[in-house]
Amino acid sequence: MPHQCRRHVSVPRRTSIGCLLLLIVTTLIGGNILGAAAQTQEPPGVPNGSPLNEQVLRVPGDAPPAVTLQVTVLHPDGDGPFPLAIMNHAANAVSRGNRGNRYLLNNGAFYFLSRGYAVAQPMMRGYSDSGGEIYHFGCDLGATAMANAMDIRAVIRYLGADPHIDTKRVVVAGQSFGGWNTLAVGALNIQNVRGLINFSGGLRESDCKPGDRELAAAAGEFAAATKVPSIWFYGDNDDLFPAPVWRAMYDRYTTSGGHAELVDVGVFMKSSHDFLTHPESQQLWLGKLDGFLARIGMPYAPINPRYMATPFPPATSFAEVNDVGAVPYLTDKGRDLYRKFLDSPFPRAFVINEAGSAANNSGGYDPLGRSLGICQNRSVRCGVYAVDDRVVWKPFPTGSRERAYRIAVRAGQTATIDFAYRLNPDCSPKELAKFREVQPPRHGRLDIGPKDGFPKFSADSPFAICNKNSVHGVAVTYTPAQNYLGEDFFSIAEDAAGGAETTFRMSLTVK
């Protein structure tokens, strides 16, 4: 029985298809022209254009001596009140002569933003623009952490006056030096702090030779005073705190009465101490942390997933990563860019398309998401060729078709991008169209689902008689992020009989 497949687009269209310092370098080539490497103009590492609603506060620390602390506060759009996550910074290469940079963009902060938290990132005394000098008590590593913990407590109390922040629901987290300070916060048993999250926590002092023993001893002292549950993440090839060190810390903590869950992330890259900074580590810690938050009665579901970095695909056997000649489609200029990619630091991503262009991001947050965004703005089919030290390329499927559209949508409103329906000659419905998301939008939400509506066949179509009847179909809708204006992109695929598919690449202008 013959049938008719028809779709219409409801909006006008036309065919045209832990680190203290984060650095993003973006390079794009197109055709035979090689663009110069350039630093991004927006704050480096902001994922998918997501709002940070950033405030930099001056907060009184604990006394004496009285100082003010530099505290960065981030939160999703909306009035809240948002539960509070404290994210404590690391201290790499920081001294009295080098106070370091403000802690801002990191996987921990973006994780909590994606779960609907406000995030406060206090700089400890002597760091960045916080007042005072770095605490130092020689080999009394516990005393250093406890002094910092009292300043963290002062920050929590200060934020209690903000109506947008719910300080009755608080978790405290930290990386390296910040993880060590987080464990000390537990010993203060601050009201409404429900959980502690320790990413590779510890402290090294150059003038303390028995540092390993002191870490374990102080961990036991923290535990004896702590009633708050915690979760610890460490790896087997941590070059700062090797496995025997953190295992001794954990054993002393739990035997001294501390309630802690240990997650061993195993061997990770050259050093697991920095695993939190790499997108490919998400699978090692994200689910475990979700489960911990659920058990302590704190939000854990990803209600704002656009804050999370684009996951790295698994390796394939297509080629060795150093085989420049194996990269498909590229011109000689493109292969020069790939050589530069191989010399760039992790995390990094290299994306190619059928037109011979490529995009390369290295360092910072979400390098793959940024590379895909650059490539897709050219309205061509893009694929990930390599990430970090491995090739992940899967050749584009054969027998597929592509259509590209550029459309405008209104800010703050949901737009029906496509309404597809399949009818028999008597106007009865056939099977529904089968769409799947290929690449999500970076600045909004894409929804695909059933819908009833009126068809729009042309007057000379034998199916025009069906226009007067409501029919069952599938709608593709796009909702821009709150207050967003600008460009966006997404792609969807429609599966057809015989395994063929059509990919629709949609370039959007939100205005």
pLDDT confidence of residue 44? 47
Q: How far apart are CA 275 and CA 298, in angstroms?
A: 24
Mark whether 294 and 324 lie in a shared domain.
no
Mark whether 289 and 181 lie in a shared domain.
yes
Mark whether 294 and 345 lie in a shared domain.
no
Q: How far apart are CA 360 and CA 337, in angstroms?
A: 8
Domain final residue, candidates 359, 391, 423: 391
pLDDT confidence of residue 25? 39
Mark whether 264 and 323 lie in a shared domain.
no
pLDDT confidence of residue 333? 86
Structural domain for 377, as ranges: 25-43+316-391
Strand 230-234 and strand 260-264: the pairing is parallel
- Residue 31 forms part of a structural domain: yes
- Residue 193 forms part of a structural domain: yes
Q: How far apart are CA 485 and CA 329, in angstroms?
A: 34
Mark whether 335 and 449 lie in a shared domain.
no
Q: How far apart are CA 18 and CA 476, in angstroms?
A: 40
Domain final residue, candidates 239, 274, 299: 299
* CATH code of the domain containing 420: 2.60.40
- Residue 310 forms part of a structural domain: no
* CATH code of the domain containing 197: 3.40.50.1820
The secondary element (H helix, E strand) that includes residue 185 is helix 177-188
Mark whether 155 and 258 lie in a shared domain.
yes
- Residue 308 forms part of a structural domain: no
Mark whether 241 and 294 lie in a shared domain.
yes
Low-confidence ranges of the chain (pLDDT < 70): 1-49, 93-97, 376-380, 398-400, 496-500
pLDDT confidence of residue 46? 64
Domain final residue, candidates 391, 414, 445: 391
Mark whether 473 and 354 lie in a shared domain.
no
Distances from the Cα of 158 to the Cα of 23, 71, 83, 167, 185, angstroms: 31, 11, 15, 10, 16
- Residue 88 forms part of a structural domain: yes
Mark whether 330 and 465 lie in a shared domain.
no
Query: What's the number of domains the chain is made of?
Result: 3
pLDDT confidence of residue 109? 94
Mark whether 419 and 354 lie in a shared domain.
no
Summarize pLDDT for 123-132 with one digit per residue, the tens: 999 999 999 9
Mark whether 383 and 409 lie in a shared domain.
no
pLDDT confidence of residue 500? 60
- Residue 445 forms part of a structural domain: yes
- Residue 496 forms part of a structural domain: yes
Mark whether 35 and 94 lie in a shared domain.
no
- Residue 323 forms part of a structural domain: yes
Q: How far apart are CA 309 and CA 388, in angstroms?
A: 15
Summarize pLDDT for 183-229 with one digit per residue, the tens: 999 999 999 999 999 999 999 998 999 999 999 999 999 999 999 99
pLDDT confidence of residue 499? 54
